[in-house]
Structures are given as C-alpha cells and as structure tokens.
Amino acid sequence: MKRILDGWRAVACGAVMAVGLAGHAPAAVADTVTDLAGRKVDVPASVHRIILGEGRLIYALAPLEKQHLFDRIVGWQGEFRGADTQSYDQYVATFPQAAGVALIGKTTADTVSPERVLDLHPDLAILTVSGHGPGKASELVGQLESAHIPVIFVDFRADPVNDTIRSMQILGQVLHREQEATDYLAFYQSHLKRITDRVASVPESQRPKVFIEMLAAMRESCCHTAGKGNMGAFIAAAGGQNIAAPLLPGYIGDIDLEKVIASDPDIYIADGTKGPKASGPGVRMGAEVTPDVARASLLKVMERPGISSLHAVTDGHAHGIWHSFYDSPYNILAIEVMAKWFHPDLFTDIDPDATQKELYSRFLPVKQEGTFWIDARP
C-alpha cells in the first residue's frame, strides 16, 4: 500500500512540476479566433487574469466590461498614465483598484519584462499590432505561447476605420462579451454609415485639402502628421483630402513645413493631449480641459512661423482635437467632428456633442468630462 501511495505522490508531484516549468496549464478552449495579426488563437472558455500590452487598450475594454472593467486586468504597460494623465485620474477615481494594476513596462515595447508578465500568471494577453507595446516579433509573445497563455492581437492605430470593427468583434469573443461588442458596433457603424454614405457623393474637387499636425508644437520642428492611415483615415472618411497622404510612406511620419505651406491646406487641425496644468507648448485637450483653456492653447500653437501664415489659419478654418482619438474605438467622434468641419452644409443634422453623450451614457463606466475638440474661432 505504501508503494502505491508513494507512486501516486510521485505522479502528482511530476504533474505540478510540469505545470510550473511551463508556467501555465493549457486551458479549456471555448472557440478559435483569427486575430488582427492573422494568427489563429484558441480562446479560453474562462478568462480571469488579463495582461494589456498597452494601457490605452482600456479605451476598447471599457464599452465591453463596463462596471467590471478592472475585475480581470492584472497588468498593463504604463503609457496610459503618462500619455493621457487626466483620463487615467478619472478612471482611478471611479475604479480605485486601477492604481494597483501591476506595470509590466513603461512606455515602449523594450521596457516590457516577460518575466514580470509571467509572474502575474495571466490566462490571456491582449497586444496591439502597431503602437508602443510588444509586437508580433517580440520575445514576450514566444514566452507566453510556450507557457500556453493565449495572445490576441488587435489594433486601432494603423487602419482604424476598418480595424476598429474587427478588433471590437475579437475582444467581444475572447472576453465573452459578444453582446456588448455587438451593441457597441451597431452604434459605431450606424454613425459611420451616415457620414460615408453622404461623403461618397462629394466630388474630389469639392473635398477640402486638410493638414493635421499631430502633437502640435511639442517637437522641435514641424510637422508630425498622419499619412494614408491613422488620423489620415479619419480625414478621408469625413470627406477631406489629406495633404500628407501622398508624401508619407507609412501611416504616421514627418513632413517639412515648406511642403505644408506649398500645399496651402483649406483646413488646419492641431491635436494634443496635454492637461490644463501641463507645462510647455502644445494643445491642451481631453479630460478636465475647459473650452477656454483648449482654445487658448490652440491659438498659441497657431502663432508659430509658417503655421500662422497658412490661409486655413488666417481664414478661420483651424481646429483642435484630442490626440488619443488616434488609438481609440471612440474615433467615430473624430470622424463626425471632421465631417462637420469639412462639409458643414452637408451635415447640418449631425451633432457630435450628442453622439459623445450617447457613447458615454450607453457604453462607458466613467463619465469623461473635458474638451475633445475645439474651433479656433468660437
């Protein structure tokens, strides 16, 4: 009898050691999804501990998890609290446990520690195809997969108008929040269709030339901007001609101020995400920012040599917008706002303020009070 018991103990001990070496036992599979990186991933039947490769993925999880937003998040990268400090503070005020979520890295992929991630014993990691967090080729992905921890890639940055829809569908599946994802996408696509259906009838010659300066005045030289994707995709969807689209090989990059001046855009947009108490140049925009503070910062940005001489600026066709729309499923608000700026007569019945209120009241567990777009002239 003693030999039998000793044998059972040895088998049990070996099983525990095997799980410990692997880091994680394979979980029961509920479904298989194809993520934004084109990878087929088995979705666990139950998810309890989630790692976010970027903190700002919280924007995407909020409409799905709502009041349970931080119940399952055990680790995230720290760029959210630095890049959008005011929103982070508002989330912590509503969800105090957010302040205790473990940091797996600072603001870039090379600061993420695979050992730190594994120590948190996640059963799901959500990463982004493009951005500040670990990508497809990162060491972290290989280590997580070796430990039988599923890794899902989504994206809201490179091709946001298309990828927002697929990313929210994927998140709905892996988080088992399918109905919440369906509800949000019905809202998103209905508002998007109103814009794109009308814009389709606008001839190219009647579409204004637009220049968006991203993180305006925060770099030594002008001009950081979007090309064929990212904020440039919002411009195209709203019926504008992005002057940087033919000048950049990628979806984000820099162009010379001289090229901006030569293009003579009809509309100038500056984006930013600085808070009302932030120091240094840049557009104050987002949570906790008042319209007066936002407008004053925009006017200051527009005073710079070269920018101040643009006809879009002198003619009163200059605007400010929240930078973090560039990486958020709330980008429908940016598209609606731009459509109003570009074609005011075509979109007299579109009210971005009302759309924002509907988004917040129906889908978000945190009421984001602040200024997310502004006109240079009231």
* DSSP-assigned beta bridge partners for residue 332: none
Among 252, 228, 242, CA closest to 161? 228
Q: Is the pLDDT score of 229 beyond 80?
A: yes
Ramachandran angles phi, psi of 294, nearest 5°: -60, -45
Length in residues, the chain? 378
Q: Are 67 and 54 in contact (CB under 8 A)?
A: no
Cβ partners under 8 Å of residue 306, min gap 6:
222, 257, 260, 261
Greatest C-alpha distance within the chain:
93
Q: Is the pLDDT score of 226 beyond 60?
A: yes
Q: How confident is the model at residue 169 (pLDDT cuts 50, 70, 90)?
A: very high
Tokens of 246: 């033919």
Burial class (CB in 10 A: 0-12, 13-18, 19+), 157: buried
Q: What is the pLDDT of residue 111?
A: 80
Q: Is the pLDDT score of 7 beyond 50?
A: no
Average pLDDT over residues 28-42: 90
DSSP string over 98-167 = GGGSEEEESSSGGG--HHHHHHT--SEEEEESSSSS--TT-HHHHHHHHTT--EEEE-SSSSHHHHHHHH
pLDDT > 90 fraction of the chain, expressed in percent and rounded: 82
Q: How confident is the model at residue 4 (pLDDT cuts 50, 70, 90)?
A: very low
Q: How confident is the model at residue 24 (pLDDT cuts 50, 70, 90)?
A: low
Q: Is the pLDDT score of 238 beyond 60?
A: yes
Listed range (7-11, 78-82, 115-119, 360-364) with the worst mean pLDDT: 7-11
Q: How confident is the model at residue 213 (pLDDT cuts 50, 70, 90)?
A: very high
Average pLDDT over residues 86-102: 96
Q: Is the pLDDT score of 8 beyond 60?
A: no
Helix (H, G, I), strand (E, B) or coil at 318: strand
Cβ partners under 8 Å of residue 12, min gap 6:
none
Q: Is the pLDDT score of 184 beyond 50?
A: yes
Query: What is the residue-averaged pLDDT of the chain?
Result: 91
Average pLDDT over residues 356-369: 94
Q: Are 55 and 77 in contact (CB under 8 A)?
A: yes
How many Å apart are CA 349 and CA 352, to the nearest integer? 10
Q: Are 257 and 211 in contact (CB under 8 A)?
A: no
Q: How confident is the model at residue 14 (pLDDT cuts 50, 70, 90)?
A: very low
Average pLDDT over residues 252-277: 96
Average pLDDT over residues 254-280: 96
Pairing mode of beta strands 318-322, 373-375: antiparallel
Tally of CA atoms within 13 A in the half-sphere of 52 that contains its CB: 29
Q: What is the pLDDT of residue 234?
A: 98
How many Å apart are CA 328 and CA 164, to the nearest integer? 8
Average pLDDT over residues 342-370: 96
> Which tops the pLDDT comparison, 208 or 130?
208
Q: How confident is the model at residue 220 (pLDDT cuts 50, 70, 90)?
A: confident
Q: How confident is the model at residue 17 (pLDDT cuts 50, 70, 90)?
A: very low
Q: What is the pLDDT of residue 27?
A: 62
Average pLDDT over residues 247-272: 96
Q: Are 214 and 225 in contact (CB under 8 A)?
A: yes
Q: What is the pLDDT of residue 26?
A: 58
How many Å apart are CA 270 and CA 73, to the nearest integer? 33
DSSP string over 61-78 = HHHHHGGGTTTSEEEEET
Average pLDDT over residues 263-284: 95
Against a cut of 0.85, is the pTM above it? yes
